[in-house]
Amino acid sequence: MEKKRKGASKPVNNKIDGNKRHTFRAEPAKRAAIGLELAKRLELDSPPNRLFMTALTHPSYLFENPQSGVENNQRLEFLGDAILDFVVAEYLYLNYPERPEGELTKMRAAVVNETTLARTAKQIRLGEELLLGKGEQVSGGRERPSILADAWEAVVGAIYLQYGLQEARRVILTLLKSEITEVAQGNYGDYKTMLQEKAQREETEVSYRILAEDGPDHNKRFTAGVYLQGSLKGKGVGRTKKEAEQRAAQQVLEELGGGEPWLRPELSPFS
């Protein structure tokens, strides 16, 4: 009986081998489709490259899929944040030459913040495109403001790297110009001052407390609470303590009738 030679190859199961090859061929196509619809909504000329997939990959996806070979969006978020600041600052400088530096800074802060960026992300349905971990998906991650704002910054970074500054500027200003116009008319989003003035008329004490701090040092998230007469009335989240307090005051004003005076005691949130 003839002995089998060492190292002789085993028969190949063509069916199984063919299925594996099909799987590997399909994966790049699936990845290429990520961000394609978003790019169309943003009216970008050519299909997005792999940077769009990176921009839409939340860290939770990578945590649950460590072998996926993709990068999360935090580095692009860092880049996009700087580009947003620059483009908005440039626009304000060129279009409002009569405004002093301090006012321009205040205007930019009122435009480039988590609340505005998350609202913009929802307008372009960015949440639909995100790659999230299962836990983040079931907990409402596609609608979470912090995730949407971060992803939008990352997308801006990807647009800049693939399409250039001119296209990044076009997209940013198309989506944020209405916010800039509102701010230029005097609505700076200084909700703490607005709430304080209203509280003074009601002879009510207003105070703020930082309720939580989350995230690494380079990307902190603060949760602030606003208290009226010692009672918690609203919460807000921001990248700085001041922004979180502004968002908390905004919540009170918007949910409890911030735009109109409380002429009747029974309508006042301070009662």
Give per-residue pLDDT as tens, 219-239: 789 999 999 988 999 999 988
Position 252 scores a pLDDT of 87
> Residue ranges of the chain with pLDDT lower than 70?
1-32, 188-189, 256-271
Say how many C-beta atoms besides its own lie within 10 A of residue 240's C-beta. 15
Q: How far is CA 214 from CA 1, 95, 211, 237, in A?
A: 72, 37, 10, 10
Q: Which fold has domain 26-184?
A: Ribonuclease iii, N-terminal Endonuclease Domain; Chain A (1.10.1520)
Q: Of 155, 205, 165, 178, which Cα lies nearest the Cα of 42?
A: 155
Looking at the chain, the domain(s) classified CATH 3.30.160.20 span 191-267
Looking at the chain, the domain(s) classified CATH 1.10.1520.10 span 26-184
Contact 236, 176 (CB under 8 A): no
Active site residue 81: yes
Position 7 scores a pLDDT of 43
Position 30 scores a pLDDT of 56
Active site residue 202: no
The single residue of 77, 153, 179, 243 carrying the catalytic annotation is 153
pTM score, whole prediction = 0.66
Sign of the C-alpha dihedral, residues 43, 44, 48, 53? negative
Q: Looking at the domain that runs over 191-267, which CATH code has it been given? A: 3.30.160.20
Element (H, E) at 159: helix 145-163
Instruction: List alpha helices for 34-73, DSSP H.
Output: 36-41, 50-55, 59-64
The single residue of 77, 81, 114, 129 carrying the catalytic annotation is 81
